[in-house]
Amino acid sequence: MTHSEGFATRAIHAGQDFDPTTGAVIPPLYLTSTFVQESMGKLRGGYEYGRSGNPTRTALETQMAALDGARHAITFSSGLAAEDGFLRAVLRPGDHVVIGNDVYGGSYRLISKIFAPWGITHSVVDLGDAAAVAAAITPNTRILWIETPSNPLMAITDIAALAAVAHERNVLVLVDNTFATPALQQPLALGADVVAYSTTKYIGGHSDVIGGAIVLNDDALAEAVKFQQFAVGAISAPLEAWLTSRGIKTLPLRMRQHSINAQAIAEFLETRPEVERVYYPGLESHPGHELAKAQMSGFGGMLSVALHGGAEAAIAFAESTELFQLAESLGGVESLMNYPALMTHASVAGTELAVPDNVVRLSVGVEDVADLLADVERGLERMNARLAR
Ligand SMILES: *Cc1c(COP(=O)(O)O)cnc(C)c1O
């Protein structure tokens, strides 16, 4: 398997060789904590103990590295564990991080609540403003933290432009690529140094696993992240790694259909009088549409909608659909509805990252689009009936 093969081929075959002892077409799930040594310190296949490595995890890491055309992928027990492992590998007391003003609330919480007491400072900036990003970088800045499309307002950031700004000042660029996935966006090819994933979302794709990954080319930094993981222990466990590998095989297919379905829902919502604004990069009305077209190969399955009628309308809508189920998380085959102000983004209420209280976020699944459209329409009608009471 080489990185020159097509994306779908890599998704199915990279790291996924058949088992040479039995011919099993699917690599086995190695539920084992330790590995018998041939003789003192002489390991079979390099495996010693499950915290340092497991063949099922290696299979996933080979597959994930191939998706981004990268040299290394390190998979963790969650997206936040991956982010934490990367941050700890890079940062020392006195260092500074520049972070977008519309990033995942948990990433902001990690930096502002967990790292701050250890002497790490941060600045929050609008990533759409390259001059503001340049101005926020200090001599102590080590990392520029980008998320595009952002969560939940789907802002599009110019990765190549900001990578140039950051690299001029010796700052590492991390892109949280959870929403787009490598199927739709390749941050390393655009100039980023590190890609972070919550594999819980589209990469796993079936809402049955929690996981994360750090993907990068730099050998020394990869070693440092691996050492952090080995020393701390937030590994992707074998069953989780196996489920994630299975999910990845249909990632290109799923992302294509998520994008088709989300485009239809976004266009429908834009026609409705109850709607103040639809946030979806596939819409021509979206300020990041042209940039998204250039930087991504599809617009993805996430969209947000701001409703006239404020928080009351947003909550009523979020509670009125049926196929779109009210739940945190995103990126599974089933459609989900989230009210950020009280759910995913409750932790950033009152900060610079607070989400408007009339916004509802939709994770558009891969059900029949006609059924999804009917569900959204019925949801708006039920919302109207509830508000009229
Ligand atoms: C969910 C999410 C995370 C955190 O991942 P977990 O797997 O929940 O720890 C980070 N970034 C984004 C964009 C996410 O959606």
Residues 194, 273, single domain; the answer is no
Residues 153, 279, single domain; the answer is no
Specify the ligand 1 atom closest to the Cα of 82. 9
**C-beta of 259 in contact with ligand 1 (< 6 A):** no
Q: Cα of 80 to ligand 1 centre, how many Å?
A: 6
Residues 217, 340, single domain; the answer is no
| Within a domain: 113 | yes
**What is the DSSP secondary structure assignment for residue 356, as one 8-state letter?**
P
**What is the DSSP secondary structure assignment for residue 111, as one 8-state letter?**
I
For residue 308, how far is the Cα from the chain centroid? 29
**C-beta of 298 in contact with ligand 1 (< 6 A):** no
Show which of 202, 218, 248 is a domain's final residue: 248
74 has which bridge partners? 214
How many angstroms separate the CA atoms of 42 and 371, rounded?
58
CA angle 304, 105, 284 (to 5 degrees): 25
How many angstroms separate the CA atoms of 369 and 375, rounded?
10
**C-beta of 338 in contact with ligand 1 (< 6 A):** no
Amino acid at 322: E
Active site residue 169: no
Tell me the pLDDT tens digit for each residue of 151-189: 899 999 999 999 999 999 999 999 999 999 999 999 999
Residues 200, 276, single domain; the answer is no
Q: Which residues contact 214 (CB under 8 A, 6 or more apart)?
A: 73, 74, 76, 82, 83, 85, 86, 194, 195, 196, 197, 225
Q: Which is the catalytic residue, given 10, 88, 142, 201?
A: 201
CA distances from 319 to 264, 302, 327, 341 (A): 21, 18, 10, 14
How many angstroms separate the CA atoms of 66 and 11, rounded?
8
How many angstroms separate the CA atoms of 170 and 138, rounded?
11
Instruction: Pick the residue whose CA is nearest to atom 8 on ligand 1.
Output: 79
Tokens describing residue 73: 């992928």
Quickly count: other Cβ atoms within 10 Å of residue 285's Cβ. 11
| Within a domain: 220 | yes
125 has which bridge partners? 100
How many angstroms separate the CA atoms of 272 and 377, rounded?
9
Residues 217, 272, single domain; the answer is no
Say if CB 235 and CB 229 are below 8 A apart: yes
**C-beta of 104 in contact with ligand 1 (< 6 A):** yes
Q: Which of 123, 128, 102 is nearest to 111 (CA)?
A: 123
| Within a domain: 145 | yes
Active site residue 42: no
| Within a domain: 28 | yes
How many angstroms separate the CA atoms of 186 and 205, rounded?
18
Tokens describing residue 360: 């509802």
Domain extent, residue 142, equals 7-248
**C-beta of 198 in contact with ligand 1 (< 6 A):** yes
**C-beta of 201 in contact with ligand 1 (< 6 A):** yes
Q: Which is the catalytic residue, given 68, 95, 102, 176?
A: 176
Show which of 193, 215, 248 is a domain's final residue: 248
Say if CB 270 and CB 303 are below 8 A apart: no
**C-beta of 148 in contact with ligand 1 (< 6 A):** no
Based on the number of CB atoms within 10 Å of its own CB, is 36 exposed (0-12), middle (13-18) or buried (19 or more)?
A: exposed
Residues 221, 262, single domain; the answer is no
DSSP string, 130-150: HHHHHHH--TTEEEEEEESS-
| Within a domain: 1 | no
Residues 329, 353, single domain; the answer is yes
86, 104, 197, best to mutate for ligand 1 pocket (most atoms within 8 Å of CB): 104
pLDDT value for 241: 98
pLDDT value for 75: 98
For residue 119, the SS3 value is coil
**C-beta of 78 in contact with ligand 1 (< 6 A):** yes
75, 80, 109, 336, best to mutate for ligand 1 pocket (most atoms within 8 Å of CB): 80
pLDDT value for 20: 93
Residues 239, 262, single domain; the answer is no
CATH number at residue 97: 3.40.640.10
Q: Which residues contact 66 (CB under 8 A, 6 or more apart)?
A: 1, 3, 10, 11, 14, 15
Quickly count: other Cβ atoms within 10 Å of residue 46's Cβ. 10
CATH number at residue 363: 3.90.1150.10
Longest pairwise C-alpha distance within the chain: 77
> Backbone phi, then psi, for 387, in 5-degree steps?
-70, -25
Q: Number of structural domains, the chain? A: 2
pLDDT value for 3: 58
Residues 196, 258, single domain; the answer is no
Show which of 248, 273, 298 is a domain's final residue: 248
Q: How many residues does the chain have?
A: 389
Specify the ligand 1 atom closest to the Cα of 151. 13
How many angstroms separate the CA atoms of 7 and 92, rounded?
37
Q: Which residues contact 111 (CB under 8 A, 6 or more apart)?
A: 87, 97, 99, 120, 122, 145
Residues 367, 226, single domain; the answer is no
| Within a domain: 216 | yes
Residues 210, 263, single domain; the answer is no
| Within a domain: 2 | no
* Sign of the torsion formed by the C-alpha atoms of 292, 296, 299 and 302: negative
Tokens describing residue 132: 């503001």
200, 207, 344, best to mutate for ligand 1 pocket (most atoms within 8 Å of CB): 200
336 has which bridge partners? 325, 363
Residues 210, 348, single domain; the answer is no
Ranges of the chain whose pLDDT falls below 70: 1-3
